[in-house]
Amino acid sequence: MLLIVSSKMRTTNLLYTLLLSLLMVSCSGLSTPFKKMEGKWTAGGDQGDGHSWYMEYTFTGNKYSMTGYPPISESGKMELKVANGDSLLIGFKVIKSDPEYKDHDEWVVIKGDELMLSGMMFHKQIEKKQK
């Protein structure tokens, strides 16, 4: 009788381990693209006549915030819709923006320290470690 209970317990533990492993693999697959985006990304340029523009995105997990000049800001959550190599279709769920902006889907392409979003090339900002 003790042998039967022990065998059932081992089978149950094995099933729980397999289910947990599958869950971890499936979740890690979805977070991997966002992991590549983690941190601050900046873009900027000259509009001519001495006027310039600047935009910065900060990505943390599935959350994002964007600020820029001329004055613009947006923050919210992201949802991965399609992953195709380095190209991702991301749904941006806008929680707060100025000027007001609605939810939108954007293709994002990540190659090393460069990120293409909305036709603009952003460069990853490397944080300097303090001594």
> Is 23 a member of any domain?
no
- pLDDT tens per residue across span 61-85: 999 999 999 999 999 999 999 999 8
Distance of alpha carbon 71 from alpha carbon 115, whole angstroms? 22
Examine residue 27 and state whether it is found in any structural domain, yes or no.
no
Tell me whether strands 51-60 and 63-69 are parallel, antiparallel or unpaired: antiparallel
Q: Is residue 15 part of a domain?
A: no
Q: Please determine, for residue 14, whether its predicted confidence score (pLDDT) is greater than 60.
A: no
d(CA 45, CA 41): 14
Asked if the structure places residue 88 within a domain, the reply is yes
Q: Is 122 exposed, middle or buried (0-12, 13-18, 19+ CB in 10 A)?
A: buried
Is 105 a member of any domain? yes
Judge whether 95 lies within some domain: yes
Please give the pLDDT value at position 124: 97
Structural domain boundaries, residue 40: 33-124
Residues 80, 30: contact at Cβ < 8 Å? yes
Q: How many domains does the chain have?
A: 1
User: Would 42 be classed as within a structural domain?
Assistant: yes
* pTM given for the model: 0.72
Q: What is the CATH number of the domain that holds 96?
A: 2.40.128
Determine, yes or no, domain membership for 98. Answer: yes
Return the residue matching tokens 């977070």.
31
**pLDDT one-digit tens code per residue, 24-70:** 444 444 446 688 999 999 999 998 888 999 999 999 999 999 999 99
